[in-house]
Structure 1
């Protein structure tokens, strides 16, 4: 995966995170979505979504192998590729986070 595509994915994550941060009026209680906004929760939702895509891909593959007439090869291959791309993007984000952590820890005081 190139740096340009990684930066594009990171910018999409940042924009989604910015969209999720809803600021309530001062007189009303904060909605549940606003209290759950944050990088950790955004990352958790992304990992959950990747897991769901992988589970769906696995289920479609199994159904196709068992001869389910409602599941065609194109749908199986698209789900497989989608879950693969999602997983690789998640691994790249994790690698960037680990590298950033290591850079911070190696900074001189």
Structure 2
């Protein structure tokens, strides 16, 4: 494929594609995109567009009015959701506490 790019790149009708310049990218096993500023669309621009689209989708689904950038959303309703850890967080917190307790015991017994 690299040799074909070189050969096609020599032809006048494909000169504008600059295939010779990109021929060795065919063997590149990395990510398909780059953070080069030469590309017209950056990954950041794609993330921003996706975020705006998802936000608009959620707004429409919730039946909220069009958002105005000059206004501030004020939430006037608070609800008690509970206190303490969730059942899954209890297990994680207990594991962290146990590991730290073992480290303290190890150091107290003259460990490194």
| TM-score above 0.5, yes or no | no
Higher relative contact order (CA 8 A, sep 6+): 1
TM-score under structure 1 length normalisation: 0.27
TM-score after normalising by structure 2: 0.27
Structure in which a larger fraction of residues adopt helix: 1
Question: Higher Cα Rg: structure 1 or 2?
Answer: 2
